[in-house]
Amino acid sequence: MRVRPQVQSLKSFPEYVDRLQQAGRYTFTREATTRDLPLSRVAVKRAAERLIAQGRMIAPRRGFFVIVPLEYKSAGAPPASWFIDDLMRFHELPYYVGLLSAAALHGAAAQQPQEFQVITNRQLRPAPVGRGRIRFFMKTSVDRTPVVGVKTETGSMRVSTPEATAVDLVRYVGHAGGWSNVAEVLSDLAEIIHPGRLAEAASAAADVAAAQRLGYLMEQAGAGDKAAPLSKWVAAAQPRTVPLRPDRPVANAVRERRWRLLVNEQIEVSG
Protein backbone atom coordinates (compact mmCIF):
# COMPACT_ATOMS: atom_id res chain seq x y z
CA MET A 1 0.00 0.00 0.00
CA ARG A 2 1.38 3.39 -0.97
CA VAL A 3 2.04 5.94 1.72
CA ARG A 4 0.53 9.31 0.87
CA PRO A 5 3.00 12.19 1.13
CA GLN A 6 2.18 14.95 3.58
CA VAL A 7 0.53 17.50 1.32
CA GLN A 8 -2.40 18.80 3.34
CA SER A 9 -0.40 21.75 4.70
CA LEU A 10 0.59 22.95 1.24
CA LYS A 11 -1.11 25.93 -0.39
CA SER A 12 0.13 26.05 -3.98
CA PHE A 13 -0.17 23.61 -6.86
CA PRO A 14 3.56 23.71 -7.82
CA GLU A 15 4.54 22.91 -4.23
CA TYR A 16 2.10 20.01 -4.29
CA VAL A 17 3.72 18.59 -7.43
CA ASP A 18 7.21 19.00 -5.98
CA ARG A 19 6.23 17.25 -2.75
CA LEU A 20 4.77 14.31 -4.65
CA GLN A 21 7.94 13.89 -6.70
CA GLN A 22 10.12 14.10 -3.60
CA ALA A 23 8.09 11.21 -2.20
CA GLY A 24 8.65 9.16 -5.38
CA ARG A 25 5.15 9.71 -6.74
CA TYR A 26 4.82 10.65 -10.40
CA THR A 27 1.05 10.49 -10.92
CA PHE A 28 -1.96 12.12 -9.33
CA THR A 29 -5.55 12.98 -10.15
CA ARG A 30 -7.53 16.20 -10.19
CA GLU A 31 -9.82 14.78 -7.52
CA ALA A 32 -6.88 14.17 -5.18
CA THR A 33 -5.59 17.69 -5.74
CA THR A 34 -8.89 19.39 -4.94
CA ARG A 35 -9.13 17.22 -1.84
CA ASP A 36 -5.60 17.99 -0.61
CA LEU A 37 -5.31 21.66 -1.55
CA PRO A 38 -7.52 24.66 -0.68
CA LEU A 39 -8.14 25.27 -4.39
CA SER A 40 -11.25 25.11 -6.53
CA ARG A 41 -11.47 22.84 -9.57
CA VAL A 42 -11.11 25.89 -11.80
CA ALA A 43 -7.96 27.00 -9.96
CA VAL A 44 -6.52 23.48 -10.21
CA LYS A 45 -7.31 23.37 -13.91
CA ARG A 46 -5.54 26.67 -14.58
CA ALA A 47 -2.53 25.76 -12.45
CA ALA A 48 -2.25 22.40 -14.22
CA GLU A 49 -2.39 24.08 -17.63
CA ARG A 50 0.50 26.35 -16.65
CA LEU A 51 2.71 23.45 -15.55
CA ILE A 52 1.81 21.45 -18.66
CA ALA A 53 2.79 24.43 -20.83
CA GLN A 54 6.12 24.58 -18.96
CA GLY A 55 6.76 20.88 -19.60
CA ARG A 56 6.61 20.13 -15.87
CA MET A 57 3.88 17.52 -16.33
CA ILE A 58 1.55 15.95 -18.88
CA ALA A 59 -2.09 14.86 -18.87
CA PRO A 60 -2.51 11.69 -20.94
CA ARG A 61 -6.12 11.64 -19.78
CA ARG A 62 -8.37 14.41 -18.54
CA GLY A 63 -8.04 14.50 -14.78
CA PHE A 64 -4.94 12.27 -14.68
CA PHE A 65 -1.52 13.91 -14.44
CA VAL A 66 2.03 12.62 -14.82
CA ILE A 67 4.99 14.56 -13.43
CA VAL A 68 7.92 14.93 -15.83
CA PRO A 69 11.32 14.69 -14.13
CA LEU A 70 14.00 17.05 -15.41
CA GLU A 71 15.94 14.24 -17.10
CA TYR A 72 12.89 13.46 -19.27
CA LYS A 73 11.93 17.01 -20.14
CA SER A 74 13.45 16.81 -23.63
CA ALA A 75 11.48 13.61 -24.27
CA GLY A 76 8.31 15.29 -23.04
CA ALA A 77 7.40 12.54 -20.58
CA PRO A 78 8.85 9.71 -18.51
CA PRO A 79 8.52 6.19 -19.96
CA ALA A 80 4.97 4.84 -20.03
CA SER A 81 6.11 1.97 -17.82
CA TRP A 82 6.41 4.47 -14.96
CA PHE A 83 2.69 5.13 -14.85
CA ILE A 84 0.73 2.59 -16.91
CA ASP A 85 -0.43 0.74 -13.80
CA ASP A 86 -1.72 3.97 -12.23
CA LEU A 87 -3.36 5.01 -15.50
CA MET A 88 -5.28 1.75 -15.82
CA ARG A 89 -6.28 1.95 -12.17
CA PHE A 90 -7.58 5.44 -12.96
CA HIS A 91 -9.64 3.90 -15.79
CA GLU A 92 -10.69 1.03 -13.49
CA LEU A 93 -9.89 -1.47 -16.23
CA PRO A 94 -7.92 -4.73 -16.35
CA TYR A 95 -4.87 -4.59 -18.57
CA TYR A 96 -1.50 -5.95 -19.49
CA VAL A 97 1.40 -4.65 -21.56
CA GLY A 98 1.48 -6.77 -24.69
CA LEU A 99 2.58 -7.32 -28.28
CA LEU A 100 5.91 -5.75 -29.28
CA SER A 101 6.19 -3.84 -25.99
CA ALA A 102 5.93 -7.10 -24.04
CA ALA A 103 8.32 -8.84 -26.43
CA ALA A 104 10.89 -6.08 -25.91
CA LEU A 105 10.53 -6.41 -22.14
CA HIS A 106 11.20 -10.14 -22.51
CA GLY A 107 14.36 -9.42 -24.50
CA ALA A 108 13.08 -9.71 -28.07
CA ALA A 109 13.90 -6.58 -30.01
CA ALA A 110 13.72 -7.49 -33.69
CA GLN A 111 11.72 -4.32 -34.17
CA GLN A 112 11.47 -1.76 -31.38
CA PRO A 113 7.86 -0.65 -30.99
CA GLN A 114 7.14 2.97 -31.86
CA GLU A 115 4.31 2.99 -29.34
CA PHE A 116 3.66 1.45 -25.94
CA GLN A 117 1.15 -1.32 -26.60
CA VAL A 118 -1.42 -2.21 -23.96
CA ILE A 119 -4.26 -4.74 -24.04
CA THR A 120 -7.49 -4.06 -22.17
CA ASN A 121 -11.15 -5.06 -22.40
CA ARG A 122 -12.54 -1.76 -23.62
CA GLN A 123 -11.95 0.43 -26.63
CA LEU A 124 -9.77 3.37 -25.58
CA ARG A 125 -8.34 6.13 -27.71
CA PRO A 126 -4.53 6.45 -27.79
CA ALA A 127 -2.95 8.43 -24.96
CA PRO A 128 -0.26 10.97 -25.95
CA VAL A 129 2.93 10.59 -23.94
CA GLY A 130 5.53 13.19 -24.84
CA ARG A 131 6.87 12.33 -28.27
CA GLY A 132 5.19 8.92 -28.22
CA ARG A 133 1.86 7.44 -27.29
CA ILE A 134 0.19 4.54 -25.55
CA ARG A 135 -1.86 2.44 -27.98
CA PHE A 136 -4.70 0.35 -26.56
CA PHE A 137 -6.06 -2.87 -28.06
CA MET A 138 -9.34 -4.44 -27.09
CA LYS A 139 -9.54 -8.08 -26.04
CA THR A 140 -12.47 -9.62 -24.21
CA SER A 141 -10.38 -12.40 -22.64
CA VAL A 142 -7.92 -10.12 -20.84
CA ASP A 143 -8.51 -11.85 -17.51
CA ARG A 144 -7.70 -15.27 -19.00
CA THR A 145 -4.39 -14.20 -20.49
CA PRO A 146 -1.30 -15.40 -18.54
CA VAL A 147 0.68 -12.43 -17.23
CA VAL A 148 3.69 -11.72 -15.03
CA GLY A 149 4.45 -8.77 -12.80
CA VAL A 150 7.42 -6.71 -13.96
CA LYS A 151 9.10 -4.22 -11.68
CA THR A 152 9.40 -0.65 -12.90
CA GLU A 153 11.16 2.45 -11.61
CA THR A 154 8.00 3.43 -9.75
CA GLY A 155 6.36 0.12 -8.85
CA SER A 156 5.25 -2.69 -11.14
CA MET A 157 3.11 -3.44 -14.19
CA ARG A 158 1.36 -6.44 -15.72
CA VAL A 159 3.02 -7.93 -18.81
CA SER A 160 1.90 -10.90 -20.90
CA THR A 161 4.09 -13.98 -20.50
CA PRO A 162 6.42 -14.85 -23.39
CA GLU A 163 3.96 -17.56 -24.46
CA ALA A 164 0.89 -15.30 -24.31
CA THR A 165 2.88 -12.61 -26.12
CA ALA A 166 3.60 -15.07 -28.93
CA VAL A 167 -0.11 -15.85 -29.32
CA ASP A 168 -1.08 -12.17 -29.31
CA LEU A 169 1.56 -11.26 -31.87
CA VAL A 170 -0.15 -13.58 -34.34
CA ARG A 171 -3.64 -12.39 -33.44
CA TYR A 172 -2.66 -8.72 -33.84
CA VAL A 173 -0.11 -9.21 -36.60
CA GLY A 174 -1.08 -5.96 -38.31
CA HIS A 175 0.19 -4.07 -35.27
CA ALA A 176 3.28 -6.24 -34.87
CA GLY A 177 5.13 -5.41 -38.07
CA GLY A 178 3.75 -8.16 -40.30
CA TRP A 179 4.29 -11.91 -40.52
CA SER A 180 8.04 -11.90 -41.12
CA ASN A 181 8.64 -9.51 -38.24
CA VAL A 182 6.53 -11.70 -35.94
CA ALA A 183 8.69 -14.67 -36.96
CA GLU A 184 11.80 -12.62 -36.14
CA VAL A 185 10.42 -11.75 -32.73
CA LEU A 186 9.49 -15.38 -32.11
CA SER A 187 13.05 -16.43 -32.90
CA ASP A 188 14.22 -14.09 -30.14
CA LEU A 189 11.53 -15.24 -27.71
CA ALA A 190 12.02 -18.95 -28.43
CA GLU A 191 14.75 -19.43 -25.84
CA ILE A 192 12.42 -18.50 -22.98
CA ILE A 193 9.19 -20.00 -24.35
CA HIS A 194 8.01 -23.08 -22.48
CA PRO A 195 6.35 -25.60 -24.86
CA GLY A 196 3.57 -26.61 -22.46
CA ARG A 197 2.77 -23.05 -21.49
CA LEU A 198 2.62 -22.08 -25.15
CA ALA A 199 -0.18 -24.60 -25.72
CA GLU A 200 -1.90 -23.39 -22.54
CA ALA A 201 -1.74 -19.77 -23.72
CA ALA A 202 -3.26 -20.76 -27.07
CA SER A 203 -6.01 -22.66 -25.27
CA ALA A 204 -6.74 -19.63 -23.06
CA ALA A 205 -7.07 -17.47 -26.18
CA ALA A 206 -9.54 -19.98 -27.67
CA ASP A 207 -8.37 -19.08 -31.18
CA VAL A 208 -7.42 -22.24 -33.07
CA ALA A 209 -6.63 -20.41 -36.31
CA ALA A 210 -4.12 -18.23 -34.46
CA ALA A 211 -2.54 -21.37 -32.99
CA GLN A 212 -2.23 -22.87 -36.49
CA ARG A 213 -0.45 -19.78 -37.75
CA LEU A 214 1.69 -19.53 -34.63
CA GLY A 215 2.87 -23.11 -34.92
CA TYR A 216 3.97 -22.59 -38.50
CA LEU A 217 5.77 -19.35 -37.63
CA MET A 218 7.55 -21.05 -34.74
CA GLU A 219 8.91 -23.58 -37.22
CA GLN A 220 10.01 -20.81 -39.58
CA ALA A 221 11.73 -19.13 -36.64
CA GLY A 222 13.75 -22.29 -35.99
CA ALA A 223 11.81 -23.17 -32.85
CA GLY A 224 9.60 -25.99 -34.07
CA ASP A 225 10.64 -28.11 -31.08
CA LYS A 226 8.87 -25.65 -28.79
CA ALA A 227 5.61 -26.18 -30.68
CA ALA A 228 5.09 -29.91 -30.12
CA PRO A 229 2.35 -29.57 -27.41
CA LEU A 230 0.77 -26.83 -29.50
CA SER A 231 0.67 -29.19 -32.47
CA LYS A 232 -1.14 -31.83 -30.38
CA TRP A 233 -3.66 -29.23 -29.19
CA VAL A 234 -4.34 -28.10 -32.77
CA ALA A 235 -4.70 -31.70 -33.98
CA ALA A 236 -7.19 -32.46 -31.21
CA ALA A 237 -9.27 -29.45 -32.24
CA GLN A 238 -9.52 -30.81 -35.81
CA PRO A 239 -9.72 -27.33 -37.36
CA ARG A 240 -10.40 -26.54 -40.97
CA THR A 241 -7.48 -25.54 -43.17
CA VAL A 242 -6.94 -21.77 -43.09
CA PRO A 243 -4.68 -19.38 -45.02
CA LEU A 244 -1.65 -17.88 -43.32
CA ARG A 245 -2.82 -14.47 -44.55
CA PRO A 246 -6.61 -14.24 -44.58
CA ASP A 247 -6.47 -11.10 -46.71
CA ARG A 248 -4.67 -12.75 -49.63
CA PRO A 249 -5.79 -15.29 -52.26
CA VAL A 250 -4.74 -18.91 -51.76
CA ALA A 251 -4.22 -19.87 -55.38
CA ASN A 252 -0.86 -21.68 -55.66
CA ALA A 253 -0.47 -21.62 -51.86
CA VAL A 254 1.59 -24.43 -50.33
CA ARG A 255 -0.40 -26.71 -48.02
CA GLU A 256 1.24 -27.22 -44.63
CA ARG A 257 -0.37 -30.40 -43.34
CA ARG A 258 0.89 -30.36 -39.76
CA TRP A 259 -0.76 -27.02 -39.09
CA ARG A 260 -3.57 -27.33 -41.64
CA LEU A 261 -2.39 -24.10 -43.19
CA LEU A 262 -2.27 -22.65 -46.68
CA VAL A 263 1.00 -20.73 -46.86
CA ASN A 264 0.27 -17.75 -49.09
CA GLU A 265 3.16 -15.54 -48.00
CA GLN A 266 6.88 -16.18 -47.90
CA ILE A 267 8.29 -15.75 -44.40
CA GLU A 268 11.78 -14.31 -44.11
CA VAL A 269 13.79 -14.71 -40.93
CA SER A 270 17.37 -13.48 -40.75
CA GLY A 271 19.99 -16.01 -39.77
- Name the residue range of residue 173's domain: 80-263
Q: What is the pLDDT of residues 83-129, one digit of tens each?
A: 999 999 999 999 999 999 999 999 986 666 789 999 999 999 999 99
55 shares its domain with 148: no
- Domain of residue 44, CATH code: 1.10.10
> Of 51, 72, 93, which one is at a domain's C-terminal end?
72
Name the percent of the chain lying above pLDDT 90.
86
100 shares its domain with 226: yes
Cβ within 8 Å of residue 171, ≥6 positions away: 205, 207, 210
Residue 167 in any domain: the answer is: yes
One-character DSSP codes across 88-103: HHHHT--EEE-HHHHH
Residue 1 in any domain: the answer is: no
107 shares its domain with 235: yes
Residue 7 in any domain: the answer is: no
One-character DSSP codes across the chain: -PPPP--TT--SHHHHHHHHHHTT--EEEHHHHHHHSS--HHHHHHHHHHHHHTTSEEEEETTEEEE--GGGTTTTS--GGGTHHHHHHHHT--EEE-HHHHHHHTT--SS--SSEEEEESS----EEETTEEEEEEE-TTGGGS-EEEEE-SSSEEEEE-HHHHHHHHHHTGGGTT-HHHHHHHHHHHGGG--HHHHHHHHHHHT-HHHHHHHHHHHHHTT-GGGGHHHHHHHHHH-PPPEESSTTS--TTPEEETTTTEEE-S------
Cβ within 8 Å of residue 174, ≥6 positions away: none
The pLDDT value recorded for residue 3 is 45
109 shares its domain with 139: yes
Cβ atoms < 10 Å from Cβ of 149: 11
Measured between alpha carbons, how far is 237 from 232 in angstroms, rounded to an integer? Answer: 9
100 shares its domain with 211: yes
107 shares its domain with 176: yes
The pLDDT value recorded for residue 7 is 56
Q: What is the mean pLDDT of residues 69-88?
A: 96
Cβ atoms < 10 Å from Cβ of 92: 7
CA atoms within 13 A on the CB side of 52: 18
Measured between alpha carbons, how far is 242 from 88 in angstroms, rounded to an integer? Answer: 36
Q: What is the pLDDT of residues 192-229, one digit of tens each?
A: 999 999 999 999 999 999 999 999 999 999 999 999 99
Residue 233 in any domain: the answer is: yes
67 shares its domain with 129: no
25 shares its domain with 107: no
46 shares its domain with 127: no
The pLDDT value recorded for residue 114 is 80
65 shares its domain with 122: no
49 shares its domain with 130: no
Q: What is the pLDDT of residues 146-203, one digit of tens each?
A: 999 999 999 999 999 999 999 999 999 999 999 999 999 999 999 999 999 999 999 9
166 shares its domain with 195: yes
Residue 3 in any domain: the answer is: no
Cβ atoms < 10 Å from Cβ of 224: 16
Q: What is the mean pLDDT of the chain?
A: 92
The pLDDT value recorded for residue 92 is 97
